[in-house]
Chains A and B, each alone.
Chain A
């Protein structure tokens, strides 16, 4: 096993979706995430050049009145971690993540993500190639952090926390690497740290030379178990990350966003994460939902969310395609109120057809272009404006056709009504029929249509063709009301 561990010091800020990567820093202003216990409130992350994590919030307010505070949101952190894990899935199927609050550093959250890359080295063409790919992808993800590589979870985490990115590939090398590191780097209880210091120990190397049994007796079994896990002398059993069955991701915006253009940047990142999720699960989706949360109105009344249900013409996992559909949809919709946060969710997943290199590849590419075109049109014009036509076996002209969805499978030829006995019909149908003020002149051709008593829409009509100024009109006389109607135009 070769664990790659990511240590994410600013994670509680990044998880809110308001990092510098999301919006231009000048616009975003400075923001810190605070933790709270009882009346005490202190800074956890953010504005790192001016405020140290752990500073009391009251002090920060006095010194830097321009800094805004946001409460830590553990739920957002979990979602962001799952999104990052979904991305990291491509480097290995064994994933572990943890967000813990260390006792030592003012309860600062410590976010760690491990992925076992041992089995993927060959796939990527060696460790260097894999790490280069990983670093490029990580830089893209909008997070900052350090990585460490070691054969055990604890050792990888230790190296990542210390910012030592030099990989340690074999368990045998571990003691030599750990030898030079200070004892304070170990995530131990303050009580144990102090006791070890009191004995005169300062380096990890010195600690490892001591016999295990007396150490366990003095500092508890948990301590020696930790050392065993660190060196790989004992297996480290932790629950592995599994992708959740449903997708849900929430993003809080820095401030109120009043124009749809302002939503596109966060959406770009959200769709990219969704793309990673779909790729990790090796599936795709055909429908998803964007929920816009508007927060509270000025009167303090919560405003209803705006829910956008989006459909694709064919299953997809491509982030660009998802973003394109969102963009088209948003471009034709004015925002009812400023947006506070965004939520992207999907419940049903469909595996997209894989592009097989077969004889009919050009046709497959054509279908792809067709799906994308339909999606684009529907997203902008609405599904009711983009349709196909279908036939229904019914005598009544207004019931002999229907509009179908473009992506619905075409009906089988056997299900289609036969048109061979039908007299010629006009190309255009006037729907509903238009009443005529007087009987039309020059009528010819006669056809009587009756039927529909069984469904309460009984018609008794005599149809004629009437020629007016070179145009052929399809008119009928209603036999009950004696009125004339225009029902179609030959063209």
Chain B
């Protein structure tokens, strides 16, 4: 009879048991910035979910924030898609950051609609472990579609958006405001499913070294 009674550790390992003060079990990919990972539920970028980033201006280190993770992903044989980036990604810089260029897909559609369509297709299909997209205006409907597609394809989706869109409702699992700081960037985690809101300063050596 005693064999049928589960031990406490077995009970706690069940996915439907949730303990207060504990992060919900979120599958995540470490971002490569230890101070940021400590604050993120699951310890990194959530897999199979949307993450929205709202840099207050372009070029404050938003790419440096995600590059270490992309480099690690491509080196491990994963694929990454960039959809409709604001400028041309500069191949030598990506290679300097350790990214395997052969594992990088660049999608630059003619129209905004094409970009939204491509983002959803890539998220849903699954062969890309990560999608970085720069969509224009997004409604809740599009975001929900992205969320569903990312769940289906078990893809990590990072959306770079205009700062004013931060005030709108969104089903994204993680929403981050980014502000410039000397030698790095301040990450304000204002929505985090399975975690708590927090703000953290992340040092970005690559950004600082040249500055």
Task: List chain A positions with a Cβ less than 8 A from chain B.
Answer: 366-367, 369-370, 372-374, 376-377, 380-382, 385-391, 397, 400-403, 406, 410-411, 416, 419, 422-431, 444-445, 465, 467, 469-473, 488-491
Contact = CB atoms under 8 A, between A and B. Distances in A.
Interface in B84-121: 85-97, 101-102, 104-110, 114, 117-118, 121
Contacts of B86: 428
Contacts of B79: 370
* Chief secondary structure at chain A's binding surface: mixed
A489 B95 contact: no
B125 A369 contact: yes
A416 B102 CA distance: 11
Which of the listed residues B59, B122, B207, B209 has the most CB atoms from chain A within 10 Å of its own CB?
Answer: B59
B112 to A, nearest CB: 12
B125 A373 contact: yes
Contacts of A388: 101-102, 104-106
Contacts of B106: 386-389, 403
Contacts of A416: 95
B138 interface: no
Contacts of A367: 127
Interface residues of B, number: 47
Given A424-B210, A425-B92, 4 more contacts: A381-B110, A397-B90, A465-B211, A490-B61
Contacts of A445: 210
Contacts of B94: 389, 427
Contacts of B91: 389-391, 400-402
Contact of A391 (B60, B63, B92): B92
Contacts of B108: 385, 387
B93 A426 contact: yes
B88 A491 contact: no
Contacts, number: 148
* Chief secondary structure at chain B's binding surface: mixed
A428 B89 contact: yes
Contacts of A401: 90-92
Given A389-B91, A391-B91, A419-B95, A472 B59 contact: yes
B152 interface: no
Given A377-B121, A489-B58, A490-B59, A386 B107 contact: yes
B62 interface: yes
Contacts of B88: 428-431
Contacts of B96: 419, 422, 424-425
25 contacts: A370-B127, A372-B125, A373-B122, A373-B127, A376-B121, A380-B114, A389-B106, A391-B101, A397-B90, A416-B95, A419-B92, A419-B96, A425-B90, A425-B92, A427-B67, A427-B90, A428-B59, A428-B87, A429-B90, A431-B87, A431-B88, A470-B57, A471-B58, A471-B59, A489-B58
Interface in B44-74: 57-64, 67
Nearest to B127: A370
A469 B57 contact: yes
